[in-house]
Amino acid sequence: MAALDEPLKKILGGTTAKVLAEHLGLRTVGDLLHHYPRRYAERGELTRLADLPLDEHVTVVAQVADSRVLKFNGGRGQRLEVTLTDGSGRLRLVFFGKGIHKPHKDLLPGRRAMFAGKVSVFQHKLQLAHPEYELLDGDAESGAEAVDAFARQLLPIYPACQQMASWKIAKAVDAVLPSARDAVDPLPGSLREGRALVPLPEALLKIHRPESKADIAAARDRLKWDEAFVLQVALARRRLAETQLPAVARRVAKGGILDAFDAKLPFTLTDGQQKVSREIFDDLAAEHPMHRLLQGEVGSGKAQPLDALVLTPRGFCPMGEMAVGTEVVVPSGELTVVDGVFPQGEREVWRLVLSDGSAVECDDEHLWIVGSRETGERVLTTRELRGDLLGPDGRPKWSIAAATPVDLDAGGERPLDPYLVGQRLAEAGGPADRLPTAYRHAPLKDRLAAVQGLMDTGGGPAEATAVYRAAPGPLADDLAWLVRSLGGSARPVPVRDGACDVFVALPAGYPPFRAPGGGDGAPTGGGPGVRRAVHAIEHVGRKPVQCISVAHPSHAYVTDHFTVTHNTMVALRAMLGVVDSGGQAAMLAPTEVLAQQHHRSITEMMGELAEGGMLGGAEQGTKVVLLTGSMGAAARRQALLDLVTGEAGIVVGTHALIEDKVQFHDLGLVVVDEQHRFGVEQRDALRGKGNSQREKQTPHLLVMTATPIPRTVAMTVFGDLETSVLDQLPAGRSPIASHVVPAKDKPHFLARAWERVREEVAAGHQAYVVCPRIGDEEEAPKAKKGAPGAKAAAAKESSPEDAAEKRPPLAVLDIAEQLRAGPLAGLRVAVLHGRMAPDDKDDVMRSFAAGELDVLVATTVIEVGVNVPNATAMVIMDADRFGVSQLHQLRGRVGRGTAPGLCLLVSEMPEASPARARLAAVAATLDGFELSRIDLEQRREGDVLGQAQSGVRSSLRMLAVIDDEDVIAAAREEATALVTADPDLSGYPELRIALSALLDEEREQYLDKG
Helix (H) or strand (E) holding 80: strand 77-85
CB 303 within 8 A of CB 731: no
Q: At what angle do helices 989-998 and 213-244 cross, to 10 degrees?
A: 90
Highest mean pLDDT among 14-18, 148-152, 735-739, 883-887: 14-18
% the chain with pLDDT above 90 = 19
Q: With bands split at pLDDT 50, 70 and 90, how would you rate the model's confidence at 818?
A: very high
Burial status of residue 189 (CB atoms within 10 A of its CB: 0-12, 13-18, 19 or more):
exposed
How many CA atoms lie less than 13 Å away from 498 in the CB half-sphere?
8
Q: With bands split at pLDDT 50, 70 and 90, how would you rate the model's confidence at 895?
A: confident
Distance CA 576, CA 568 (A): 13
Q: Which of 298, 293, 283, 226 is nearest to 1010 (CA)?
A: 293
Distance CA 506, CA 529 (A): 8
**pLDDT at position 567 over 50:** no
Highest mean pLDDT among 16-20, 273-277, 803-807: 16-20
Q: Taking the mean position of all CA atoms in its chain, how far away is CA 593?
A: 17
CB 12 within 8 A of CB 21: no
361, 624, 684, 765, 857 from 900: Cα distances, Å: 21, 38, 41, 11, 20
**pLDDT at position 853 over 90:** yes
Distance CA 899, CA 294 (A): 32
φ, ψ of residue 277 to 5 degrees: the values are: -60, -40
Q: What is the pLDDT of residue 465?
A: 65
Helix (H) or strand (E) holding 874: strand 871-876
> Vertex 823, ends 821 and 829: CA angle to 5°?
65
Q: What is the pLDDT of residues 687-735, one digit of tens each?
A: 677 654 456 678 888 887 655 555 555 555 556 667 776 644 333 344 5
Distance CA 758, CA 470 (A): 57
Q: What is the pLDDT of residue 739?
A: 93
- What is the DSSP secondary structure assignment for residue 824, as one 8-state letter? T
Q: With bands split at pLDDT 50, 70 and 90, how would you rate the model's confidence at 888?
A: confident
CB 547 within 8 A of CB 301: yes
Helix (H) or strand (E) holding 85: strand 77-85
Q: Taking the mean position of all CA atoms in its chain, how far away is CA 176?
A: 45
Q: How far apart are the first and last CA of the chain?
A: 29
Q: What is the pLDDT of residue 830?
A: 95
CB 871 within 8 A of CB 766: yes
- Higher pLDDT among residues 790 and 543, named by residue: 543
Q: What is the pLDDT of residues 101-129, one digit of tens each?
A: 889 989 999 888 888 778 888 877 888 88
Strand stretches in 551-580, DSSP E: 556-559, 562-565
**pLDDT at position 842 over 70:** yes
Distance CA 308, CA 304 (A): 6
CB 226 within 8 A of CB 187: yes
Distance CA 183, CA 965 (A): 27
Helix (H) or strand (E) holding 542: strand 532-550
Q: What is the pLDDT of residues 464-482, one digit of tens each?
A: 468 888 888 889 989 999 9
Q: What is the dihedral of CA 835, 838, 843, 845, to 10 degrees?
A: 70
Q: What is the pLDDT of residue 714?
A: 59
**pLDDT at position 527 over 50:** no
Q: Which of 204, 111, 215 is nearest to 153 (CA)?
A: 215
Pick the range with the lowest mean pLDDT from 137-151, 185-199, 467-481, 705-719: 137-151
Q: What is the pLDDT of residue 301?
A: 41
Give me the mean pLDDT over the 522-541 stretch.
Answer: 71
Q: Which of 68, 73, 71 is nearest to 92 (CA)?
A: 68
Q: With bands split at pLDDT 50, 70 and 90, how would you rate the model's confidence at 74?
A: confident
Coil, strand, or helix at residue 52?
coil
Distance CA 61, CA 73 (A): 33
Distance CA 311, CA 335 (A): 10
**pLDDT at position 828 over 90:** yes
Helix (H) or strand (E) holding 305: strand 304-305
Pick the range with the lowest mean pLDDT from 197-211, 708-722, 813-827, 869-883: 708-722
Q: What is the pLDDT of residues 979-991, one digit of tens each?
A: 999 999 999 998 9
Average pLDDT, the chain: 78
Q: Residue 625 forms beta bridges with which residues? A: 651
CB 111 within 8 A of CB 63: yes
What Rg value do the Cα atoms of the chain yield, rounded?
35
Q: With bands split at pLDDT 50, 70 and 90, how would you rate the model's confidence at 924?
A: confident
**pLDDT at position 273 over 60:** yes
Q: What is the pLDDT of residue 977?
A: 92
Q: What is the pLDDT of residue 440?
A: 86
Distance CA 743, CA 74 (A): 33
- Higher pLDDT among residues 726 and 585, named by residue: 585
* Positive/negative CA dihedral, 9, 13, 15, 20: negative
Distance CA 323, CA 341 (A): 6
Q: What is the pTM of this model?
A: 0.53
Give me the mean pLDDT over the 240-255 stretch.
Answer: 83
How many CA atoms lie less than 13 Å away from 846 in the CB half-sphere?
6
Scored b (16 or more CB within 10 A) or e, 823-862 reads: ebeebbbbbbbeeeeeeebeebbeebbeeebbbbbbbbbb
**pLDDT at position 801 over 50:** no
Highest mean pLDDT among 547-551, 605-609, 955-959: 605-609
CB 401 within 8 A of CB 529: yes
- Higher pLDDT among residues 821 and 164, named by residue: 821
CB 958 within 8 A of CB 222: no
φ, ψ of residue 858 to 5 degrees: the values are: -145, 165
Burial status of residue 544 (CB atoms within 10 A of its CB: 0-12, 13-18, 19 or more):
buried
Distance CA 65, CA 292 (A): 61
Amino acid letter for position 704: M
252, 264, 462, 517, 620 from 259: Cα distances, Å: 9, 9, 44, 50, 10
- Higher pLDDT among residues 304 and 581, named by residue: 581
- Higher pLDDT among residues 853 and 916, named by residue: 853
Q: Which of 761, 752, 769 is nearest to 870 (CA)?
A: 761
Scored b (16 or more CB within 10 A) or e, 43-79 reads: eeebbebeebebbebbbbbbbbeebeeeeeeeeeebb
CB 126 within 8 A of CB 58: no
CB 199 within 8 A of CB 185: yes
CB 997 within 8 A of CB 233: no
Q: What is the pLDDT of residue 141?
A: 47
Q: Which of 511, 670, 481, 445 is nearest to 578 (CA)?
A: 670
% the chain with pLDDT above 70 = 76
Q: What is the pLDDT of residue 289?
A: 87
Which string of DSSP letters, residue by residue, matches 320-369?
GG--TT-EEE-TTS-EEEEEEEEEEEEEEEEEEEETTS-EEEEETT-EEE
Bridge-based pairing of strands 315-318 and 309-312 is antiparallel
φ, ψ of residue 85 to 5 degrees: the values are: -145, 155
Distance CA 932, CA 446 (A): 59
Distance CA 832, CA 821 (A): 18
Helix (H) or strand (E) holding 819: helix 812-821
Q: With bands split at pLDDT 50, 70 and 90, how would you rate the model's confidence at 756?
A: very high
Q: Which of 399, 403, 404, 405 is nearest to 531 (CA)?
A: 399
Q: What is the pLDDT of residues 399-455, one digit of tens each?
A: 887 778 888 887 778 889 999 999 889 887 777 788 888 898 889 889 999 998 888
Q: Residue 899 forms beta bridges with which residues? A: none
